[in-house]
Amino acid sequence: MKKEISNVAVIGAGDMGHGIAQAAILGGLTVYLYDVNKESIDRGVNRINQSLEKLRKKEKISEEELNEARSNLHPTLDFKEALSSASFVFEAVPEILDLKQKLFKQMGEVAPKTAILASNTSNMSITKIAEHVQNKDRVVGVHFFNPVILMELVEVIRGSETSDETIQTAYDLCLKMNKTPVRVEKDSPGFIVNRVNAPVSVFIEAIADAGIAEPEEIDALIKSHGKPMGHFELMDYVGLDIVYDSCQYNKEVLHPNYAPSRLLTEKVDKGDLGKKTGKGFYDWSNGRPSIDL
Ligand code: 3HC
């Protein structure tokens, strides 16, 4: 058995949340997009509108599809309004376990008792996130990648008490959002993608930390192997604070070797968080950095 989903709530209108909301409205779902302040909501809605325009200009969607998608979106600052009619809730807030646990408890209390509660965490335990929720069988990980609207892959992660029905409903919802879901049957740090990426990142960043080569040189090599972005450029794109938190988590739950690298720590300490602040390993103040060596 699986549930038919038509109404969803997205909690958090940032990099990931606005993208999840956009994929959902394009999938024909009614979406309540919630954030704690008006600036965040407005920014998220603007990004959705700009992206929809881009897709329309390239004829990836029609004018009619654009208008329909827009009419499916309901931005709100009212948590109750966002959740009261939702049959599926996506959480996309910062990677702080305590914050997510508190939020899931509230989501469980405010959303309908049958609503599925999904976390977009990139590596945290779904079982732990569900700790204070009643009916833990309805909590699942649904991990999208940045930029959500262009990246097809989604990890659907089973927590220790997630039911088969919840997994199947989440899986089918991803299909409806034009994504390619993969099932992760065991709740484990980093799931599949970030579990593979974590050790690779340690090796790459150790080269820069040791002064063997500059980030730009390492990125040029990675790009010459056909990757769309270099490692440091991608970290800037995702947000160095997000990457840093993820390394800290991996250090605690997997191995001390996963601690954030020296250069990453220096950037975060200075508040140079990548694309979102205009500066990280690269200068993003005039758009995507070009790497001319
Ligand atoms: N909406 C609509 N279209 C968009 C868009 C958006 N938000 N962003 C970019 N595009 C379009 C551009 O307009 C461009 O269209 P065009 O080819 O017709 O001109 C096209 O997408 C390609 O964009 P760019 O020319 O700017 O650059 P790229 O060719 O490099 O593509 C990219 C951009 C898809 C982001 C590519 O660089 C890429 O795949 N990068 C790697 C992304 C990645 O690995 N993400 C995973 C990060 S890890 C993660 O997310 C985990 C999480 O938990 C933190």
Query: Among the residues of 72-214, which ranges form H helices?
Result: 79-84, 97-110, 126-129, 164-176, 193-209
Q: Is 194 a residue of the active site?
A: yes
Q: Which domains does the chain have, with CATH numbers?
A: 7-184 (3.40.50.720), 194-277 (1.10.1040.10)
Which ligand 1 atom lies nearest to the CA of residue 120? 53
Cα(110) to centroid(ligand 1), Å:
35
Cα 155 to chain centroid, rounded: 11
Answer yes or no: are the C-beta atoms of 235 and 274 closer than 8 Å.
yes
Burial 13-26 (b: 16+ CB within 10 A, else e): bbbbbbbbbbbbbb
Residues 6+ apart with CB under 8 A from 89: 8, 9, 10, 11, 83, 107, 111, 115, 116, 117, 118
Residues 6+ apart with CB under 8 A from 59: none
Q: How is residue 252 written in tokens?
A: 């605690």
| 59 secondary structure, DSSP code | T
Cα 140 to chain centroid, rounded: 14
User: What is the per-residue pLDDT for 292?
Assistant: 53
> How far apart are the C-alpha atoms of 236 and 159, rounded to whole Å?
30
> pTM of the entire structure?
0.95
Catalytic member of 143, 163, 233, 261: 143
Helix axes 15-26, 63-71, angle to 10 degrees: 120
Pocket lining for ligand 1, CB < 6 angstroms = 51, 54-55, 58, 122, 145-147, 149-151, 228-229, 234, 238, 242, 288
User: What is the per-residue pLDDT for 293?
Assistant: 53
Cα(130) to centroid(ligand 1), Å:
32
Mean pLDDT by 10 residues, the chain (293 residues): 87 97 98 97 98 97 97 98 98 94 98 97 97 97 98 98 98 98 96 96 98 97 95 97 94 95 98 96 90 56
User: What is the per-residue pLDDT for 289?
Assistant: 87
